[in-house]
Structure 1
Amino acid sequence: IFLFCQYVRVAVDSKPEVLLQLMLREWQMERPKLLLTVQGGSENFILPPKVNQAFSKGLITAALSTGAWILTDGINTGVSKYVGEAVKIFGGHDLRTRNTVGITPWGVIDNNTDLIGRDAFRPYQPLGNPLSKRACLNGFHSHFLLVDDGTLGKHGCQHGLRRKLEKHIQLQKIHPRLNQGVPVVCVVVEGGPAIVSTVLHYVSNVPPVPVFVFEGSGRAADLLAFLHKQTIDRQLDADIEEDFLIRIGDVFGIERAEATHLYTLLLQCIDHRQSVSKTVFREYACAVTKDTNHSSMNNR
């Protein structure tokens, strides 16, 4: 069943201030006090049951207790699907009040022509053709920005718009009398090679965006967590570094040259150690509830 949600098809070069105005005025979303941007694997992957429980409960607890918006890619696979399941299980009865926003490429959505219309209810089947290479929307998101760059079947066009929207929201004042912007926190679950570059973008931002790496979720998240742990006091020993390079290649199925490049990016992420925490969500929910304006949470 696809629950009631609101969506709009937007151009890839849409202005973030116009999008935020639409979300606040037309969709009547409550102004966020925190922005949780969830990044990670877009293909299906398995989270161990205990890890999934901690992620799901912690994410929604953090969102509800702080008045946060949650941003994902909105598709019904990978980390976005896990976020949808978390909303379903822990989000309460009125799922329409949850501010879980999918920012999704229009051209990858299966049966996207079913969504064409203006000011009308459009039925949508979230279970697509198993033989299709297209993606389906996750039915437990409350809102969607469907980003159209004119291509079909290509992922990635949404990333630039998502970053601009996040930055614009970050500049908004939580209260007119307070000189405090909306804190942004990135949560990393699993993820491929591109997630490493995404993390580097957040931690090298001005001001830096704190990144919480969910250890135990796999691939990019676990590589970041391992390096964070092993480089607390010193650089990696030569033998550990060699093993780590081999591990990068095995995890992503890439050649030595690409693994070496990714290792450099991982080290650059850890250079911003004060903005990177490896965490479990019990700690994470507590951290953002107590201090949503701290740009460099304590390391764990």
Structure 2
Amino acid sequence: MFVRVSVDSKPEALLQLMLREWQMDRPKLLFSVHGGSENFTLTPKVKQAFTKGLITAARSTGAWILTDGINTGVSKYVGEAVKTFGGHNLRKRNTVGVTPWGVIDNNTDLIGRDVFRPYQPLGNPLSKRADLNSFHSHFLLVDDGTLGKYGCQEGVRKKLEKHIQLLKIHPRFNQRVPMVCVIVEGGPAIVSTVLDYVSNNPPVPVFVFEGSGRAADLFAFLHKHTDSDRQLDADIKEGFLLRIGEVFGVDRKEASRLCALLLECMDHRQSVVYSKYSLVRKHICAVQSFLVKEFPYV
């Protein structure tokens, strides 16, 4: 199911649509998944741990999953997870893509009011636009009038996430919906995203999948090397700066800026959790362990 919305759409109206019109189950937990938007490769062990772990944790807790909904990068892996482990009823999978309308290939095929529109991702390698991932159950397509540009969906997504967090997990309970940010791979922009989550009041826990690459692995490395104090030894910091430059393809000045932001995230290190997924875990994923520890009521 999908709806095309403006950038100034009110989050309370969107949530009402999702709960009443789409009849989505009231969430007891919210996973906001961020990471690389371009295609990247996860090792088989990391992919298995992420896909099975995320969906198992979501299904066992009654969680919603939010992504950018496109058929590349981390959203594609989430789609594969839903396809493999999400059960047979697509509409009950509660996996929502918050996607810029202007980047969607053949978006005119989706125009209409209260109609059924078949949509099949074609994956045209010559197209500069993106396909929707068809294994997401619902989409909020954010239109700011631009074509081919990402970013307009971010404000809508942040406001919606905050509004979902104000929702009670049950009308009789006072407990609000907890949220976890999940990081898989990711580019330079993810660093600011993580800082925004962990510096919130209250902070949003960030779960980093070590072994998935780029930003996720930088966070895991820094978390290990700032165990007792935020400072890095001079030789380690120099190597880390070089690594940032190589990983993100940026110059020294930009690497220094990103390093400062990464270190600022470590000021909130209690809200950052990472796990090494190159190791096989028996019958239980690290996501579930984290949830049991942090949110025993879900």
TM-score (norm 1): 0.94
Partner of 1:67: 62
Contact 1:147 1:157 in 2 (8 A): yes
Q: How far apart are the structure 2 equivalents of 1:153 and 1:293?
A: 42
SS of corresponding position for 1:233 = coil
The letter for the 1-side match of 2:245 is: G
**Aligned-pair CA distance for 1:180:** 1.2
SS of corresponding position for 1:123 = coil
2:216 corresponds to 1:221: yes
2:242 corresponds to 1:276: no
Partner of 1:285: 288
Partner of 2:87: 92
Q: How far apart are the structure 2 equivalents of 1:152 and 1:177?
A: 44
Partner of 2:24: 29
2:100 corresponds to 1:105: yes
Runs of 4+ residues over 4 Å off in structure 1: none
SS of corresponding position for 2:182 = strand
The letter for the 2-side match of 1:157 is: C
Contact 2:37 2:75 in 1 (8 A): yes
2:193 corresponds to 1:190: no
Name the stretch that deviates more: 128-137 or 42-51: 128-137
Report Cα offsets for 1:256-288 as digits up to 9, x if no partner.
000000000000111101101112571212321
Partner of 1:298: none
**Aligned-pair CA distance for 1:182:** 0.3
2:167 corresponds to 1:166: no
Contact 2:25 2:92 in 1 (8 A): no
RMSD: 1.2
1:263 to 259, 262, 267: 259
Identity %: 77
Q: How far apart are the structure 2 equivalents of 1:74 and 1:41?
A: 12
Structure 1 residues 161 and 10: alpha-carbon distance in aligned structure 2, compared to 1, 3 A threshold: same
Q: How far apart are the structure 2 equivalents of 1:166 and 1:129?
A: 32
Q: How far apart are the structure 2 equivalents of 1:63 and 1:71?
A: 11
2:241 corresponds to 1:245: yes
Structure 1 residues 290 and 226: alpha-carbon distance in aligned structure 2, compared to 1, 3 A threshold: closer
SS of corresponding position for 2:37 = coil
SS of corresponding position for 1:272 = helix
Q: How far apart are the structure 1 equivalents of 2:175 and 2:124?
A: 46
TM-score (norm 2): 0.95
Q: Which segments of 5 or more consecutive residues in structure 2 lack a partner in the other structure?
A: 278-284
SS of corresponding position for 2:96 = strand
Q: How far apart are the structure 2 equivalents of 1:17 and 1:192?
A: 31
What is the number of residues matched between the two proteins? 289
